[in-house]
Structure 1
Amino acid sequence: MDVVGKEEKKDETKFDALGLDPKLVQAMHKKKGIRGPTQVQRVVVPAARMGKDVLVRADTGSGKTLAYLLPMVHKLMGEGDRKGWKALVLVPTRELCKQVADEALWIANRCGNAFGVTNLASKGKSAATKAALATVEDLVVSTPATVADCVRKGVLPTQVLQERLQTLVLDEADLLLTYGYGEDLQTVTNNVPRSCQCMLISATLNDDVEQLKELVLHNPQVIDVHPEKDKKTGRTGVAETVEHFKVECQGKDKLLCVAVALKMGLVAKKTLVFVNTINTGYKVKLFLESFGVRSAVLNAELPLNSRQHILQEFNKGLFDHLIATDSTSAKSNANGKGNNGTSPKRKRGTQDGEYGVVRGIDFRGVRTVLNFDMPEDINGYIHRAGRTGRAGRTGACVTLCAEDETAFLETVDRHLQGDQEEQCIKPLEGLTKSQVEAFRYRGEDVARRITRNAIKEARAKEIRMELLNSERLQSHFEDNPKDLALLKHDKTLQKSPGLAHLKNVPNYMRDSKTLAAVSDLSKKRKLESSSRRGTRPESKNAVAFLPASKLGCSKEDDELTPMEKSVFGSKLWSNRKLIRKTGNVRKNKRRSR
């Protein structure tokens, strides 16, 4: 049975209509940034409350996490007794584990701690995992590998799962097998009782999801929720508020195009840059540093604590550009399956096999996604573009396309077009050839200095700094969490200071067409900002979210700490006060005249 958005009841515009526990409803009303349930929540929550197995397909940023957390928490609050392993949420990455666990903890704290939450994947080492299992709470969030490892070693008795587990959720189901969790999922699901309610949540439906459906679900209700307009246009999985652009260039000119786009303000901040390899990420960072564009790097080599802190600082708006390594392509081969039909095993090494930021992670306030490297497939493009334009907000996805990548981008464009004839991925206005050529002499001079040894040294320096931040100072930060603000992840990695004149763009290097495009973009941003401050028209399928603040913060936990205010205050905290102060000074001058 398929359920789409148009079949939902018209009165289900508030959490009260979903039949949830009153404490849970009250908590949702107090949650910043949310006015009411989204379309996917209005459809999924009633079906899940009936105890049915469900398979949910919904766009990125549509509120899928709360769609399965709300009925799960409602069931836990009705139990009364506190026992571990009543509910289990399996996600592909540790970053997503923390995000889901934090969301559940927020709900628990505002519901009188009627249930507990354990993030099993955050422990890392086996000794810490054993200690966590001794005091495990009602709701457990983990990766499949962590739970399966505990089962194999006998740390987690299979009898516990068979007797206690009531709800199992596989979030980002289309990615679980890609990450090589096939054997781990088999180990876990073999010990799931028949009476357990199972839910599969995904942004796309593919062969992997069908395989998990046969493995986990029993006579499921299929819920496919996405806007009616997207069904006609074929924009499966991508919000219609996201604009798509391309920059056709030679592969060697990609660095130059990124620097021009960011330096000239052709793309809106905050910017999330995706690369396919760690070395490329550091190469982009070093190149941008030379032009005075500060950025941070996020990849699987960095310690877990550092990765989580980088995400927190980026979401708070303490830096504007984040270069993230998309490791999804490295985790899958051409077919994504082994010879026996199972997913290939993950490679063990210095990199964290459970790292991933392309899917599921809520990067708050991201206005532009910039694909420096082309994604592995169409689903990879969809999930990258899904990091912006979330919860009904506008965003842009800009892709740098070399000559040998044109065919793939045309395939993506046809997928986005659907039945429309108009091209979806359009050229980025303002990034003219003359503007790029104006930067070429400087860019080629900088690129010659970024050698393999320079990248290797920068990579080693970053790891040393983050290991120091993560391990040696861990106990201090546990006692003084506010001091984390002193750790800046956008520090320069260059061995010698760059040339000062590269940070400024003289007038003779500014192309008139580029300046006109920047001016138009600035006017467009002001109009969007003013419209967000005003009232939005109510519509049947409107996403009921409040607009994000200038810092990209939408949660109470994301407010700047006193230490952060002292460190970053001149840039972020006192802008409004300065504006008011200068405004009052001007008024007093007029009166004195």
Structure 2
Amino acid sequence: MGEPEDKYLNFHEMELDDRILKAIVKLQWSTPTLIQSKSIPLQLEGKDVLVRARTGSGKTAAFTIPIIQKVLNLKKTAMHQEVKAVILAPSRELCSQICSVIKDLTIKCSREVRTVDVAPNVALNIQKPLLVEKPDIIVGTPARVLMHLKSGTLDLKDSLEVLVIDEADLIFSFGYKDEVEEITSYLPKIYQAVLASATLSEDVNKLKTLVLHNPVILKLEEPELAPASQLSHYHMLAEEMDKATILYSLLKLHLIRGKTIIFVNTVDKCYKIKLYLEQFRIPTCVLNSELPAAIRCHSVYQFNQGVYDIIVASDEKSLDETIYTDKKPKEVKSKRRKDKESGVSRGIDFQFVANVINFDFPLDVQSYIHRAGRTARGNNQGSVLSFISIKEKVLLDKVEEHLRAGLNDVAVFKKYQFKLEEVEPFKYRAQDAWRSVTKIAVREARLKEIKQEIFNCQKLKGYFEDNPTDLQVLRHDKTLHTVKVQEHLADVPEYMLPPSLKSLAGMKRKRKTYRNISTFKKTKFDAAAKNPLLSMNSLNLKL
């Protein structure tokens, strides 16, 4: 069925419960997004819906609002407490995010609408008491939901009203095909189903056949990414050492403003950049598939709350590490244990991201689209800057070709001409700092992180109380020789500043060292930073 030609409705025209409307007002959502305006009325009518909309279009609220409304309606005549809705998502981070949205939307009816997230990787017995109370909405990954169904702690046969599968195009690629097929055997014959996806791939069509019945297909006529007026794409040719120098210069001189995600392709590179930047007193946090789910969610929370303005994320394709040959990318299976229920470039709601920096260029078109989709969300401006090595040029060409096809062959990427000679003094510091982050330093930094997690683990708290000697052994283990931080690297002496920047800031040559360039924050240069990356136009380090 094609897209219906209904008029665009506002929230107050959708016959939503007053408690939901009050929550929406508190969230300051003045008008629904296109996907919300079109899909919410259809879901309220009880129709199966296949929603295709780009990242950042408001898909989560588009299916949670109708679920909450349905639960409130059913509560008026219900005789017992029952599970009415199940939301499946491919990663634990996304499950946590969905629960957060539901919590915000039910702030005025939290006693009537109860939600449980079963995605955390804990023993089933720990979650059993929560499920015995039969919460109205269950959120979880397919694997966790299936485990509860098999164990008998969750029964949906007679109560389920709505099934939602979010990021449907990732469900199969995360290895959940068998789990989803088995889950359907535990469901009633009649229920409403919703699939939400950024793409309509072959896998989505398989899921559509499996769970949907005569669905309305909402394939919105909108680009995969925000328009050029909102999202700017830049690329710069640079090999790894130059990438490191440029990254240090941009961040230390505050030429990039606002929250920034730095994407790399491997976990080790993720830690290498973190240790590299920390030598210059540039605080960062990391996110990758090998971190425990609790740490991943905490890292996202700290980033969103502004504790950190920079997060370094490893976006490993298919959760495998990749190497380059002269011909094409070659996947290499990693021996390390990675959490398949994690996601970095997809699903996670990084809030108010101003810039995405691709230190390593993504390995395919969709990965680029999803990385770029982390910024320019809602009505916010955003920029994507991609560092391109010679071997990565072929990947850039593929992305350019794909994006140009949707824009009537209009060029998407602008060349970012960074004059390295302008920051030559930075280069020597960058080289020393980059080389000091050895494989051993990366490995020991990760060991330090693992030890810290062991100390903080609630599961092991009782064990250490009974075995204090083991705790002492861990605490008095050999000191990990991570990268030494030299205090003077936090300063940027005047002689290191590009001449064009001195002129712009109105500086005099006799001035001394500027700690973290804090004196720049109120200069004319700040006015040039309406779009963080565009501030480079004001320097001779032009785009």
Please state which band the TM-score falls in when normalised by the shorter chain. Answer: 0.7 to 0.9
Find out whether 1:423 has 2:411 as its counterpart. yes
Aligned to 2:71: 76
Alignment partner of 2:67: what SS?
helix
Aligned to 1:450: 437
Q: How does 1:161-200 map to 2 (within 5 A)?
A: 161-200=156-195
Contact preservation (8 Å) 1:89, 1:142: yes
Aligned to 1:220: 215
**Cα distance, 1:246 vs. partner?**
1.2
Aligned to 1:379: 366
Q: 1:468 aligns with which of 430, 449, 455?
A: 455
Q: Which has the higher helix share?
A: 1
The letter of the residue matching 1:218 is H
Alignment partner of 1:273: what SS?
strand
Note closer, same or farther for the CA distance 1:455–1:55 as it changes in structure 2 (3 Å cut): same
The letter of the residue matching 1:425 is F
Contact preservation (8 Å) 1:371, 1:399: yes
Q: How does 1:62-211 map to 2 (within 5 A)?
A: 62-80=57-75, 81=78, 83-111=81-109, 113-122=111-120, 124-152=122-150, 154-156=151-153, 160-211=155-206
Give per-residue Cα distances to partners, 1:91-150, cap 9 Å, x unaligned.
011111111112212323312522210111125223323333323301000000101223
Contact preservation (8 Å) 1:247, 1:428: yes
Find out whether 1:312 has 2:307 as its counterpart. no
Q: 1:50 aligns with which of 45, 48, 69?
A: 45
The letter of the residue matching 1:195 is I
Give per-residue Cα distances to partners, 1:546-565, cap 9 Å, x unaligned.
xxxxxxxxxxxxxxxxxxxx
The letter of the residue matching 1:27 is A
Give per-residue Cα distances to partners, 1:451-494, cap 9 Å, x unaligned.
1111111111122223333437999xxxxxxxxxxxxxxxxx97
Measured in 2, the distance between the counterparts of 1:328 and 1:18 equals 40
Contact preservation (8 Å) 2:266, 2:322: no
Percent of matched pairs sharing the same residue:
35
Matched residues, number:
484
Alignment partner of 1:2: what SS?
coil
Note closer, same or farther for the CA distance 1:347–1:91 as it changes in structure 2 (3 Å cut): farther
Note closer, same or farther for the CA distance 1:67–1:347 as it changes in structure 2 (3 Å cut): farther
Aligned to 2:471: none
Alignment partner of 1:272: what SS?
strand
Measured in 1, the distance between the counterparts of 2:125 and 2:335 equals 19
Measured in 2, the distance between the counterparts of 1:132 and 1:362 equals 26
The letter of the residue matching 1:308 is C
- Any unmatched runs of 5+ in structure 1? 231-235, 335-345, 476-492, 529-593
- Any unmatched runs of 5+ in structure 2? 324-332, 463-479, 506-519, 533-543
Q: How does 1:361-376 map to 2 (within 5 A)?
A: 361-376=348-363
**Cα distance, 1:410 vs. partner?**
1.6
Measured in 1, the distance between the counterparts of 2:322 and 2:45 equals 39
Measured in 1, the distance between the counterparts of 2:156 and 2:168 equals 21
Contact preservation (8 Å) 2:260, 2:356: yes
Contact preservation (8 Å) 1:76, 1:115: yes
Contact preservation (8 Å) 1:435, 1:509: no
Measured in 2, the distance between the counterparts of 1:406 and 1:428 equals 14
Measured in 1, the distance between the counterparts of 2:197 and 2:487 equals 48
The letter of the residue matching 1:94 is R
TM-score (norm. length: structure 1): 0.76
The letter of the residue matching 1:381 is Y
Contact preservation (8 Å) 1:278, 1:299: yes
The letter of the residue matching 1:133 is L
**Cα distance, 1:204 vs. partner?**
1.6
The letter of the residue matching 2:191 is C
Contact preservation (8 Å) 2:93, 2:342: yes
Contact preservation (8 Å) 1:179, 1:328: no
Contact preservation (8 Å) 2:19, 2:106: no
Contact preservation (8 Å) 2:265, 2:322: no
Aligned to 2:26: 30
Note closer, same or farther for the CA distance 1:261–1:39 as it changes in structure 2 (3 Å cut): same
Find out whether 1:15 has 2:11 as its counterpart. yes
Aligned to 2:482: 495
Note closer, same or farther for the CA distance 1:277–1:526 as it changes in structure 2 (3 Å cut): closer
Contact preservation (8 Å) 2:225, 2:372: no
Alignment partner of 1:89: what SS?
strand
**Cα distance, 1:285 vs. partner?**
0.7
Alignment partner of 1:162: what SS?
coil
Measured in 2, the distance between the counterparts of 1:513 and 1:17 equals 55
The letter of the residue matching 1:75 is K
> Is the deviation greater in 205-214 or in 118-127?
118-127
**Cα distance, 1:364 vs. partner?**
1.1
Measured in 2, the distance between the counterparts of 1:348 and 1:161 equals 38
**Cα distance, 1:349 vs. partner?**
6.5
> Is the deviation greater in 52-61 or in 118-127?
118-127
Find out whether 1:433 has 2:437 as its counterpart. no
Note closer, same or farther for the CA distance 1:294–1:434 as it changes in structure 2 (3 Å cut): same
Alignment partner of 1:121: what SS?
coil
Note closer, same or farther for the CA distance 1:473–1:366 as it changes in structure 2 (3 Å cut): farther
Note closer, same or farther for the CA distance 1:512–1:416 as it changes in structure 2 (3 Å cut): farther
Measured in 2, the distance between the counterparts of 1:527 and 1:145 equals 42
Structure having greater relative contact order (Cα 8 Å, sep ≥ 6):
1
Q: CA RMSD in A?
A: 2.8
Note closer, same or farther for the CA distance 1:318–1:54 as it changes in structure 2 (3 Å cut): same
Alignment partner of 1:354: what SS?
coil
Q: 1:257 aligns with which of 231, 246, 264?
A: 246
Structure 1 stretches of at least 4 aligned residues deviating more than 6 Å after TM superposition: 346-349, 472-475, 514-521
Aligned to 1:243: 232
Measured in 2, the distance between the counterparts of 1:524 and 1:513 equals 14
Measured in 2, the distance between the counterparts of 1:259 and 1:200 equals 42
Aligned to 1:359: 346
